[in-house]
Chain A
Amino acid sequence: MNASQKPIATGSDWNFSILEHFNDKLAALADEYRLDTYPNQIEVITTEQMMDAYASVGMPVGYYHWSFGKQFLAVEQAYKRGQMGLAYELVINSNPCIAYLMEENTLMMQVLVMAHACYGHNSFFKGNYLFRTWTDAESIVDYLVFARHYIAKCEERHGVHAVEQLLDACHALQNYGVDRYKRPSPISAEEEARRQDEREAYLQTQVNMLWRTIPEPPDNASPLPGSLNSDNDPLGLHSGGIYPPEPQENLLYFIEKNAPLLAPWQREIVRIVRKLAQYFYPQRQTQVMNEGWACFWHYTLMNRLYDEGDVDEGLMLEFLQSHAAVINQPDFDSPYFNGINPYALGFAIFMDIKRICEAPTEEDYQWFADIAGTPWRSTLEFAMRNFKDESFIQQFLSPKVMRDLKLFLIVDDDQSETLEVAAIHNEQGYRRVRDALSTQYALSVKEPNIQVVEADIRGDRSLTLHHVQDCRRPLGRSVYPVIRHLHELWGFPVRLVSMDEGRVTHRYRWPIEEESKDNP
């Protein structure tokens, strides 16, 4: 360390050579901390380009859809009115990892963003098990290009409106386009393109097999529950068992493979939306960790730059102010409160893990016997690699962080008059608060649990889904528009049954006219 050294640059102006100089510094420090990253591709862009990037949910190349336009207008409006500053960073999980720097930013911001995105997020993308499992950073950009071309081609052939309609329907279901428990095959543009024609033909034959109307010989059909008795069905036409044999959670996959009337190009688009949903799936599950990790590293790296004399006090003060704003957590009763700030929570937990490693207290030995006093760098790496928000909080949220954030648990039960404070940040409450917070980040709890249980392939071709209620929570009003979209894809009546502990609580149907007949 040579604190007497001259800073690399001062003031708020920057140019490319200064940025490169800082980047070299950061790279050297990251190396010292053994941060494993993809190569960085740092792109300097204008405000408007940032709004563009923003509107396309961070996809560097997106297909065209009105919803992105809506997003853009919303961002633009908010920005122009000064309601929000643009996020100063945007980073894409790809190899090389693409990070955007906005030209208006001050020098401090650019350095901060480089530390945050190019070394924080980047190493997270490369290390975290969810990203490793679910996304293929090598091929995502190629795949996006493929998707854009394919959809543009479809628009040319089948009309913008038809494609838009289909995308609307797919977008409504995109959160249900993921196999949660099966490892997916990685996506690759070349292979997609190569296999696409082949697949179109193959898919169609499969679907044809499923929907053929010629009955199978009775001895081939296994009598399964749900089949009619032989008096009503002497030929055993209904005895083929229910399809699918197991409930399916991946609605889009089920649609892609089984919807009777979709044309091959439509199946391909369903697939594209599904594949992209899969790409974003890890991001939805690691918000706290991802941001916490990136904040931890920008904080650490910036402090190192200061220690080594590469930045001056002015820049450091500016940084600290900005950093404090990012990790600020307003209280629940503050007018600025908007849920838990994932940056704040994640940063607090990672900082605390480091503290537990370096200066454990009696409490820490009790709670974190396995990590207290271990080398912090490898413990942190372990935490980053092997968890998602849900399990990360369950594993690493310490009593100290709960006390610092003054977390408390409210139970809001519509059957009781009042809200109950079920637990607070004290000895009796730690575990309960931690469990509840962890559950709060579980996708399976955040999103209603809906699965396909039956496609009536021998009868009216209707599709039946089950919604398993969690804590009696019903579906929101958006259910009808969504099943309408589902009906557009499936082409035949769609039923959705809400179940609570095995009891049917509500039935939804589309087309809706049928409901009045069955449910007077």
Chain B
Amino acid sequence: MTYFIDRRPNAKHKSAVNRQRFLERYRQHIKRSVEEAVNRRSITDMERGEKISIPTKDISEPVFQHGPGGARNIVSPGNKEFLQGDRIRRPSGQGGGGGAGEGSASDQGEGNDEFAFTLSREEFLEFVFDGLELPHLQSKPLKSLEEVKMVRAGLSRDGVPSRISITRSMREAYARRIAMRAPIKRALKEAEQALEAEERKDSVLRNPARVAELKADIERLKKRIEAVPFIDTYDLRYHQLAAQPQPSSQAVMFCVMDVSGSMTQNHKDIAKRFFLLLYLFLEKHYEKVELVFVRHHTAAKEVSEEEFFYSRETGGTIVSSALTLVDHIIQKRYPAEQWNLYVAQASDGDNWDDDSNTCRNLLIKKLMPQLQYYAYVEITPHDHQSLWHEYQNVAEHFPERFTMRQIVEASDIYPVFRELFKRRLNQAR
């Protein structure tokens, strides 16, 4: 007795649960690797998974085993020159290919010191956001109604021929035909019945005039039925398009960072995480996200990502230089009608005192009216300085689109991020 069963259509990923359990168990190890990877990778380079290695000893499943030492007998195949009683120097590296006596209990590990495997992109991102719970923000598109998209919106009687709905037009025509023919048909039937009755009469009683009249009537009615048009302009239906406001499909994200001497690499790493989160977040909403990196000390400059995060600068800080440059770039390359504009600024809060005032004015008057969103994070454990206070002023003017938070250490990033966007969600309702 033999049965063949085609199991191919069955569910795949039978081991998915076990795989998850494994990842869960070694969360700490994997998280460490992922963190390293995040620091190593470019912001835009999050499209792939990551190879993770865990030391084998940390994940072994222990069983009782023989250790080295004592006497053991090993039978091996492929003797070439040995004779009984030969003595051989111990090969360096214990066991010398052991043989099965070594204890086949450990069939895994394959002698590697590292247990290596690959995380998928989803799993990778999950670890990036581990403990942070990526909020489900997708369902609420951010406000950006400048661009419209034509969508089908029912039917109308007017339109261009290319948008005729044939089915609906024919259905209308059919209904009209039925409606228009019905009274004529009724009259025709009556006429025919009358004619029949007249003809059935005795030829003496028959009224030839009446017969002729009826025949003419029938003829006329038949003509009228035929004259009901198969399709009429009145029947035509057109697909209607309506302009629906759409979130623009393209966004640009300005990363603005203070690179003056007071910003350490640690500050920059924190800032990088924050930018990364925002980037991933925007990427979920827009088909296309462009990044513009603007760094500044006393003067602002647009730079590559590499330079943005890793070059060292010293000197004082004039924040308004960066804001001016952002404004300039917007005017030149990213008109607000076509682009969703986001600015994320990270700084340690230092600024020339006089400049903070300028920043406020610049933001309120020039930038904020164009932007979707402005997020400012201040990475400092210290008290706020003038910039913060001026920005608070801005936030009062634009409570929905301007947010600012303080970050003290890396673990604050995500809660802060979450808070920033959660609030918007509530207001959008």
- Which stretch in A184-192, A200-208, A233-241, A406-414 binds the other chain? A406-414
Give the shortest distance, in Å, between A419 (CB) and chain B (any CB).
5
Q: Mark A386-417, 1 if CB is under 8 A from B, else 0.
A: 00000000000000000001111111111101
| Secondary structure class of chain B's binding surface, majority of residues | loop
Q: Which residues of B contact A250 (CB under 8 A)?
A: none
Asked if residues A428 and B18 are in contact (CB atoms below 8 Å), the reply is no
Any B CB within 8 A of the CB of A316: no
Query: Beyond A45-B7, A473-B71, is A74–B115 a contact (Cβ under 8 Å)?
Result: yes
Q: Which residues of B contact A103 (CB under 8 A)?
A: 8
A118 to B1 Cα, complex, angstroms: 11
Any B CB within 8 A of the CB of A365: no
Interface range, B side: 35 or more
Q: Which residues of B contact A441 (CB under 8 A)?
A: 100
Any B CB within 8 A of the CB of A64: yes
B95's closest neighbor in chain A, by CB?
A412
Asked if residues B66 and A448 are in contact (CB atoms below 8 Å), the reply is yes
Q: Name the contact of B65 in the complex, choosing from A41, A71, A412, A475 (C-beta under 8 A).
A: A475
B109's closest neighbor in chain A, by CB?
A74
Task: List residues 70-95 of chain A with CB under 8 A from any CB of chain B.
Answer: 70-74, 76-78, 80
Any A CB within 8 A of the CB of B5: yes
Q: Which residues of B contact A48 (CB under 8 A)?
A: 12-13
- Which stretch in B80-88, B231-239, B342-350, B374-382 binds the other chain? B80-88
Asked if residues B105 and A412 are in contact (CB atoms below 8 Å), the reply is no
Query: Beyond A73-B117, A334-B78, is A481–B62 a contact (Cβ under 8 Å)?
Result: yes
Any B CB within 8 A of the CB of A337: yes
Task: List residues 56-100 of chain B with CB under 8 A from any CB of chain A.
Answer: 59-80, 82-90, 95-100
Q: Name the contact of A426 in the complex, choosing from B59, B63, B84 (C-beta under 8 A).
A: B84
Any A CB within 8 A of the CB of B108: yes
Task: List residues 345-401 of chain A with CB under 8 A from any CB of chain B.
Answer: none
Any A CB within 8 A of the CB of B15: yes
Q: Name the contact of A407 in the complex, choosing from B60, B67, B76, B89 (C-beta under 8 A).
A: B76
A160 to B87 Cα, complex, angstroms: 55
Query: Beyond A103-B8, A408-B75, is A96–B1 a contact (Cβ under 8 Å)?
Result: yes
Give the shortest distance, in Å, between A110 (CB) and chain B (any CB).
11
Q: Name the contact of A471 in the complex, choosing from B24, B70, B116 (C-beta under 8 A).
A: B70
Asked if residues B115 and A70 are in contact (CB atoms below 8 Å), the reply is yes
Q: Which residues of B contact A409 (CB under 8 A)?
A: 73-75
Asked if residues A44 and B97 are in contact (CB atoms below 8 Å), the reply is no
Give the one of B13, B22, B23 with max A CB within 10 A: B22
A471 to B71 Cα, complex, angstroms: 5
- Which stretch in A3-11, A224-232, A289-297, A432-440 binds the other chain? A432-440
Give the one of B63, B86, B89 with max A CB within 10 A: B63
Any B CB within 8 A of the CB of A197: no
- Which stretch in A49-57, A130-138, A304-312 binds the other chain? A49-57
Give the shortest distance, in Å, between B262 (CB) and chain A (any CB).
45
Q: Name the contact of B88 in the complex, choosing from A49, A66, A334, A421 (C-beta under 8 A).
A: A421
Q: Mark B29-47, 1 if CB is under 8 A from A, else 0.
A: 0000000000000000000
Q: Name the contact of A330 in the complex, choosing from B23, B69, B78, B100 (C-beta under 8 A).
A: B78
Give the shortest distance, in Å, between B315 (CB) and chain A (any CB).
49
Any A CB within 8 A of the CB of B10: yes
Give the shortest distance, in Å, between A127 (CB) and chain B (any CB).
17
Any B CB within 8 A of the CB of A220: no
B51's closest neighbor in chain A, by CB?
A77
Any B CB within 8 A of the CB of A142: no
Asked if residues A69 and B19 are in contact (CB atoms below 8 Å), the reply is yes
Any B CB within 8 A of the CB of A242: no
Query: Beyond A40-B2, A406-B79, is A414–B59 a contact (Cβ under 8 Å)?
Result: no
A456 to B69 Cα, complex, angstroms: 32
Asked if residues A168 and B61 are in contact (CB atoms below 8 Å), the reply is yes
A306 to B13 Cα, complex, angstroms: 39
Any A CB within 8 A of the CB of B101: yes
Any B CB within 8 A of the CB of A504: no
Q: Name the contact of B62 in the complex, choosing from A20, A440, A482 (C-beta under 8 A).
A: A482
Asked if residues B118 and A77 are in contact (CB atoms below 8 Å), the reply is yes
Any B CB within 8 A of the CB of A210: no
Query: Beyond A65-B18, A405-B77, A474-B69, is A46–B116 a contact (Cβ under 8 Å)?
Result: no
Query: Beyond A68-B15, A332-B77, A482-B63, is A44–B8 a contact (Cβ under 8 Å)?
Result: yes
Give the shortest distance, in Å, between A113 (CB) and chain B (any CB).
13
Q: Which residues of A contact B4 (CB under 8 A)?
A: 16, 19-20, 23, 42-44
Any A CB within 8 A of the CB of B331: no
A67 to B61 Cα, complex, angstroms: 8
Any A CB within 8 A of the CB of B224: no
Q: Which residues of A contact B25 (CB under 8 A)?
A: 66, 164
Q: Name the contact of A473 in the complex, choosing from B15, B72, B98 (C-beta under 8 A).
A: B72
Query: Beyond A39-B2, A51-B15, A472-B69, is A421–B87 a contact (Cβ under 8 Å)?
Result: yes
Asked if residues B2 and A69 are in contact (CB atoms below 8 Å), the reply is no
A45 to B15 Cα, complex, angstroms: 15
Q: Mark B103-131, 1 if CB is under 8 A from A, else 0.
A: 11100101000011110000000000000
Query: Beyond A339-B100, A413-B71, A421-B85, is A407–B66 a contact (Cβ under 8 Å)?
Result: no
Asked if residues A418 and B75 are in contact (CB atoms below 8 Å), the reply is no
Query: Beyond A55-B15, A68-B15, A171-B61, is A476–B66 a contact (Cβ under 8 Å)?
Result: yes
B contacts, CB < 8 Å to A: 1-8, 10, 12-15, 17-25, 59-80, 82-90, 95-105, 108, 110, 115-118
Known contacts A337-B78, A473-B71, A474-B70, then 7 further A-B pairs from the complex at CB < 8 Å, ordered by chain A residue:
A331-B80, A408-B75, A418-B90, A445-B101, A472-B69, A474-B66, A482-B62
A-B contact list, 13 entries, CB within 8 Å: A39-B1, A66-B18, A66-B25, A67-B18, A411-B74, A414-B70, A418-B88, A433-B75, A436-B73, A447-B105, A471-B70, A476-B67, A478-B64
Q: Across chains A and B, which 10 residue pairs bring their CB atoms closest together, nearest first? A: A331-B78, A69-B22, A473-B70, A69-B18, A476-B67, A472-B70, A39-B1, A481-B62, A332-B76, A476-B65
